[in-house]
């Protein structure tokens, strides 16, 4: 996950970013098997930041 932007105040925040998912191949190399964008809505509850909502979208469609 790579955060690209965060906006908010003392009670709530919105994080937007990009993600990449890798797998390890038998030869030891890594291969990117998924990537896309995400957002997370955070809220402060009893002094701690908690995820309120999250969503992601893949950059490529799922192959058949």
The answer to whether 30 and 43 have CB atoms below 8 angstroms apart is no
Lowest average pLDDT, out of 10-14, 31-35, 42-46, 60-64, goes to: 60-64
Lowest average pLDDT, out of 13-17, 29-33, 58-62, goes to: 58-62
pTM: 0.77
Main-chain dihedrals φ then ψ at residue 59, nearest 5 degrees: -80, -25
Q: Tell me the pLDDT tens digit for each residue of 16-48.
A: 999 999 999 999 999 999 999 999 999 999 999
Edge-to-edge strand ranges of the sheet holding 48-58: 2-8, 12-24, 30-45, 48-58
């Amino acid at each position: 996950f790579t955060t690209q932007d965060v906006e908010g105040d003392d009670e709530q925040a919105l994080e937007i970013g990009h993600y990449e998912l890798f797998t390890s191949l038998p030869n030891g190399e890594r291969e990117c098997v998924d990537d896309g964008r995400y957002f997370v809505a955070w809220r402060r509850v009893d002094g701690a930041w908690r995820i309120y909502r999250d969503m992601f979208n893949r950059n490529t469609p799922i192959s058949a």
